[in-house]
Structure 1
Amino acid sequence: MPAASDTKGDLTSVLTACCLAMLAVGDNSTAIMAALPDMKASLHLGPAEVEWVVNAYLLTAAVFIVVGGDAADQLGARRSSVAGIALFALASLLIALAPSGFVVVGARALQGLGAAFAVAGTLAAVSEAAPDSRRAEAIGAWTGFLMLGFSIGPLVGGAVTHYAGWRFIFWLNVIAMVPAALMLSRHPGAGGRRAMSMDWAGLGILAVFMVTLISGLQALAHVRVDPLAAIVPLALAVIAFIALLRTETRRPQPLVDFALFANRNFAIAAGLLFLVMFDIMTLLLYYNLFAQSADGLGMSAIAAGLSLLPLSIALFAFARAAPSIGMSIGVRRMLTGGSLLLALGCAIIFLSFQIEARFAVLMPSLFVAGVGIALIYASAPRLGLATLPQLQAGKGSGMLNSCSFLGGTVGVTFGGIVFAFAGFPGVLVLLGVSALASAALCLRLKAE
């Protein structure tokens, strides 16, 4: 049995590495939003290519996050973590050196694959390294650094793009991920429980479903000109979903366990995570495009990042406060209130563009929206996993994360259609409707 000091040192090293990796993953998710206008100009990207720079990452992560959880169980959490972190760093290097938009999109897909294994693996590694008495504290630190990176991303992305160029955002990922991988590789941890097995049929059909769905939704923007470009992939997406449902419900150990959705709280939590990621990714992308355009607010990248500081502060502060708030007023009330705050924030942002003193109203409204997002994002996973047996926790976590990433992808895609026809005010209306849908879902929860 290892000495207590050895266990403490091992936990400190593993937790430091995992938190550093999650800080980079969280920052990467949102920092790129501030850089997209500069990337669009320097790489000569069209509107669809800009969407794919975001969606390639989210789609790949959505498909493989479930696989990442299984890999952590079967191959060993720290081995899986190191593989994911190394892949993320390699993809970031490729993006930093990319000569074209095609290379960026491909490397972003690779980055999403790395993120899927890194997120699932590091969470399992922290749980494995921590003794029972410190496990909740260690997981709280892991979650806190992921949310910290997510919340500071807009400011970091704006500042780095303004002073060093958008490529340096991805150099920062390399700088953070290399020492994280080296620290984890020194502590191989426990081996996997069994040889790696894979539901290749489920994985393939899931990938086909998600790619055809997003391709079809993107093509809706030009449906009057070329209706088949939307109809064909959407029809294939429906066929793929039916095939996925039939295949996975017949397997003893499916990659996508649809039986989990029979649990009402789990299904509602999945819906909430889909909608909240729909909102945050859409808001950040199209706010930055609007804020940095000559027809919009005409801001520089750093000014746009600074203008999102109230949102960032709210995300970080209320993600940490969410457990206490939930204990005080109940999770159902907190999630419903968070959804309504998000809808209210979007409504006030919309109104701020109709008055002269827009920034005096815009800043507090971004804070209000951030509070709503944080309360939902930090609490929905706990809601979904609380009623599942311990043996299903890993699978359930992967499914919830997959729904979250898919929501971000669908949001970016739908937001692109609305942004093209109705501008950023139209996007805000879309986000308000999504937030009200979240509130309606919360009302389906059982009263505590």
Structure 2
Amino acid sequence: MPAACNTKSDLRPVLMACCLAMLAVGDNSTAIMAALPEMRAGLQLGPAEVEWVVNAYLLTAAIFIIVGGGAADQLGAQRSSVAGIALFALASLIIALAPAGFVVVGARALQGLGAAFAVAGTLAAVTEAAPDARRAEAIGAWTGFLMLGFSIGPLIGGAVTHYAGWRFIFWLNVVAMVPAALMLLRHPGAEGRRSVSMDWVGLGILAVFMVTLITGLQALAHVRVNPQAAIVPLALAVISFLGLIRTETRRSYPLVDFELFSNRNFAVAAGLLFLVMFDIMTLLLYYNLFAQSAGGLGMSAVAAGLSLLPLSVALFAFARTAPSIGIRIGVRRMLTAGSLLLALGCAIIWSSFQIEAIYTVLMPGLFIAGAGIALIYASAPRLGLATLPQSQTGKGSGLLNSCSFLGGTVGVTFGGIVFALSGFSGVLVLLGVSALASAVLCLRLRAD
């Protein structure tokens, strides 16, 4: 087995490639929110199709992110990364050329599959390439570029949609991913370290659970007219979840290791990531739909993106400072404060629409909400993994990421129901309740 890349010259191109890929993945996750109103009009998408443009990506990533970590072990981190990056670029190309909505939805699912392998693979590649003394710095750079893409996505998506059209967002993904893949191909890194049989049964049951759960939740909007459309898939979701527990607890090497949730801090971290992704994806999607609608704020795509600049600034700034804040006041207090800041930000945004002080009150509200989201999102994964043995960190990371992506999917789905019934004000109330639930969950953390 070739030695892993551990010199400064080997680290630099690998780190550059991985950071570029994460910048594109992060930007893609949020830039599309600003483009959705124009995509809806151009492709004649209905409300359910708009949700699936977002959910197809999040749901596929949630299912396969656990597999991505195992692939990095079996194929080698760089090879797994290249496969994920290539899939992501191919899917972006298909979306950029898509003639109809169903093609976009299918390609978004393929994009989620690529993201699942790219996220897990690039993190493993950076960890493998960095010498011990520089590992924390390298992982910090990887995280920083992912969060940078996440934070600037609304602005880039709005500007590109306004001046070049929504398809150009996905052309930019191709432009970023191709050089990233080529750089990694030139530095293939170590071979796969071990061979572990794939838990296909667990993967299949997990996929059935997540798909039926989201399908059933979406059907709740029409439960009075067609109750079976919601009851049947939700019943299947419950059955498949119970089957997943029964199957995975009996396997020696389960895909979903439920024993990890017996660790209190890990379980709380998983819950916090579920809720914070629930909040950010729901906020960005329905804010953009509201801001760019004639019955809402009537903004253009670029104006909507610019109005989210306070949120973007707070996301990036507080994600970078979260570790030092946690050291100063303790992780539990910081996460609780982040949850309360998010609830306060939602309340301020809600009030800005009630008193018609859109800019003087909305902007501070978005900044405060972004600060709360960043403090949670940047710290919960470290909290969850800190108490796990080294042999379980890969599996634990996959589970945490899966919970995060699933939270975004559930948020978009529930948000769609509330948005249809009571508009964006109702969505803000939903987000405030979710943020308060995060604060309550923080009380379950062990003291620092």
TM-score band w.r.t. shorter chain: over 0.9
Any idea what the Cα deviations from partners look like across 1:316-362, whole Å, max 9, x if unmatched? 00000000000000000000000000000000100000113221100
Q: CA deviation at 1:197?
A: 2.4
1:266: which partner in 2?
A: 266
Contact 2:40-2:50 at 8 Å conserved across structures: yes
1:342 is matched with which residue?
Answer: 342
Q: Which amino acid aligns with 1:222?
A: H
Residue number in structure 2 paired with 1:85: 85
Q: What residue is the counterpart of 1:158 in the other structure?
A: 158
Task: Determine the structure 1 residue equivalent to 2:134.
Answer: 134
**1:59 partner amino acid:** L
Q: Deviation digits for residues 36-95 of structure 1, max 9, x if unmatched?
A: 000000000000000000000000000000000000011100000000000000000000
Check the 8 A contact 1:71/1:196 in 2, yes or no: no
Describe the superposition over 1:198-222 as per-residue Cα deviations: whole angstroms up to 9, x where unpaired. 1000000000000000000000000
Aligned partner letter, 1:148 = L
Is the CA contact 1:265–1:384 (under 8 Å) kept in the aligned structure 2?
Answer: yes
Partner of 2:252: 252
Which digits, 9 at most, give the CA deviation of each residue in 1:256-300, with x for residues without a partner?
000000000000000000000000000000000000000000000
Give the equivalent residue in structure 1 for 2:19. 19
CA distance in 2 between counterparts of 1:301 and 1:184 reads 35
Aligned match of 1:389: 389
Find the aligned partners of 1:357 and 1:73 in 2 and give their Cα distance. 53
1:407 corresponds in structure 2 to 407
Task: Look up the match of 1:148.
Answer: 148
Q: Deviations over 1:9-28 (max 9, x none)?
A: 11000000000000000000
State the shift of 1:196 in Å: 5.2
Distance 1:194 1:123 in 2: 18
What TM-score does the superposition give when structure 1 sets the normalisation length? 0.99
Q: Secondary structure at the match of 1:353?
A: helix
Distance 2:282 2:128 in 1: 35
Partner of 1:289 in structure 2?
A: 289
Q: Say whether residues 1:422 and 2:431 are aligned partners.
A: no
Cα distance in 1, alignment partners of residues 446 and 173 from structure 2 = 42
Q: Runs of at least 4 residues of structure 1 off by over 6 A?
A: none
Match of 2:249, as an amino acid?
T
Matched, 1:194 2:199: no
Write the distance in 2 (CA, Å) between the matches of 1:218 and 1:396: 29
Q: Is the 1:349–1:362 contact (alpha carbons within 8 Å) kept by the matching residues of 2?
A: yes
> SS of 1:252's equivalent?
coil
Q: Distance in 2 between matches of 1:182 and 1:245?
A: 41
Tell me the distance in 2 between the aligned counterparts of 1:447 and 1:390: 22
Aligned to 1:331: 331
8 A Cα contact 1:75 1:196, kept in partner = no
Q: Deviations over 1:398-432 (max 9, x none)?
A: 00000000000000000000000000000000000
**In the aligned structure 1, how far is the partner of 2:409 from the partner of 2:333?**
28
Aligned residue for 2:147, secondary structure, equals helix
- Cα deviation per residue 1:99-138 (whole Å; 9 max; x = unaligned)? 0000000000000000000000000000000000000000
Consecutive unaligned residues of structure 2, counting only runs of 5 or more, are none
Q: Which amino acid letter does the alignment assign opposite residue 109 of structure 1?
A: A
- Residue 444 of structure 1 and its aligned partner are, at CA, apart by 1.0
Which residues of structure 1 form unaligned runs of 5+?
A: none
Please give the TM-score of this superposition, normalised by the length of structure 2. Answer: 0.99
Question: What is the RMSD of the two structures over their aligned residues, measured on CA atoms?
Answer: 1.4
Q: CA deviation at 1:195?
A: 3.1
Q: Distance in 2 between matches of 1:338 and 1:385?
A: 19
Structure-2 residue corresponding to 1:115: 115
CA apart distance, 1:6: 8.3
Contact 1:276 1:376 in 2 (8 A): yes
Task: Report how far residue 7 of structure 1 moved.
Answer: 1.7
Shift of 1:194: 2.4
Aligned counterparts of 1:387 and 1:279: Cα–Cα separation in 2:
26
Distance 2:251 2:357 in 1: 59
Asked if 1 retains the 8 angstrom alpha-carbon contact of 2:68 and 2:116, the reply is yes
- 2:86 equivalent to 1:100: no
Q: What is the rounded CA distance, in whole Å, between the counterparts of 2:193 and 2:137 in structure 1?
A: 25
Q: How does 1:20-39 map to 2 (within 5 A)?
A: 20-39=20-39
How many angstroms apart in 2 are the aligned matches of 1:172 and 1:250? 45
CA distance in 2: counterparts of 1:39 and 1:391, whole angstroms? 44
SS at match of 2:253: coil
Q: State whether residues 213 and 233 of structure 1, in contact with CA within 8 Å, keep that contact through their aligned partners in structure 2.
A: yes
Any idea what SS the aligned residue of 2:190 has? coil
2:74–2:194 CA contact under 8 A, matched in 1 = yes
- Separation in 1, partners of 2:73, 2:403: 21
